[in-house]
Copies of this chain bind each other. A is one copy, B any other.
């Protein structure tokens, strides 16, 4: 890229408005994204936790934060101010920020539409009845409805692009299906009105209409071969699955240490506790299954030993709210057979950890689309527990490839 081109693309970036369509728009992460963006624009908070706010990413013509416009779907009708109030009480959002950002929050809320209830989610609190009705429609009608929402958003808000981001609660685990193996088989199943998980419908609706898709959840989304094929065919970038925010993040930093030093991991036990709506949903064994697979795979792959004794547990502890607390115990053997241990306790707000990564991924997905990339965005592997592509779970290796990508595109 020559300097002139760079300048013009930078200028173009600065002028464009990009839409962020949040699936799960009334949840804690969405609330942190909305108030956080408002706070960043008003200089009320600093961009702590935002990877793209620093070098070398500042050298890229990423869409400026003030040009991001929020909208989204949700299956419940809990007011955003109620979500914000809970986050204030749980010491995640500052009350002054909430007051100062009231106008931005109102504007966002006005653009939230009823989402599609996943068939397995019957007992949701504050359920939006329309979400239930949409959830029962044949898949082609669901898709049409979602695309109409995306299009109306793009038109009304005068957007150059809309990025769809799934930050809804984890869906119930589904076994792999035959129709997921190819796009043709999947299209046929849609024609035959075979119901699909909501996350898959969202991914199909987004990718098929040319919207980049970010799956921050462990739900299926665009991870199936059929949708990967669709993204390639349509030339759309997408990434996922399952944001790597806390305990797994620490795991994927520590596990390579044991491998590098040839210390033999005998057992790695991880116990997670959380009390937010995500935790409540994970309290159900079917939903938990999706999450645990995602968390355990990384460790086994990193240690290079499929038989190593590992365990990942998640418990719902309501009083902790959004403050995920995790304890990991690593039992290992060193030279001479000496047995040693490392244990750690992680205490962090899941939503405040996730929100800046969502913003980072939106900016990177927009840049990738602008740059003509399609498919799984392998450079984003460090953001995910189960990266769609990227080869390793080693955080430092993943992050090095992100930096390399940024430097390559910033360069020349």
- Interface residues in chain A, defined as those with a beta carbon under 8 Å from any beta carbon in chain B: 32, 35-36, 39, 45, 47-51, 53-54, 91-95, 97, 249-250, 253-254, 256-257, 260-264, 266-267, 269, 271, 273, 309, 311, 313, 315, 317-320, 325, 327, 329, 331, 333-349, 352-353, 355-356, 382, 394-397, 399
14 A-B residue pairings within 8 Å (CB atoms) = A39-B336, A91-B338, A97-B336, A253-B253, A256-B396, A260-B396, A311-B317, A334-B348, A341-B345, A341-B348, A342-B345, A342-B346, A342-B348, A396-B397
A32, A49, A257, A333 interface centre (most CB from chain B within 10 Å): A49
Q: Quick one: copies of this chain in the complex?
A: 4
**A317 partner, pick from B97, B327, B331, B344, beta carbons under 8 A:** B331
Residues A337 and B262 in contact, CB atoms below 8 Å apart: no
For A348, the closest partner residue in chain B by CB is B340
- Once the chains are docked, how many angstroms separate the CA of A157 from the CA of B263? 33
Residues A336 and B94 in contact, CB atoms below 8 Å apart: yes
Residues A382 and B336 in contact, CB atoms below 8 Å apart: no
Residues B271 and A48 in contact, CB atoms below 8 Å apart: no
- Once the chains are docked, how many angstroms separate the CA of A54 from the CA of B257? 15
Residues A342 and B250 in contact, CB atoms below 8 Å apart: yes
- Once the chains are docked, how many angstroms separate the CA of A393 from the CA of B379? 24
Q: For the complex of A and B, list the 3 residue pairs with the smallest distance between their C-beta atoms, beginning with the closest.
A: A266-B319, A396-B396, A340-B348
Residues B32 and A336 in contact, CB atoms below 8 Å apart: yes
Q: Which residues of B contact A97 (CB under 8 A)?
A: 336
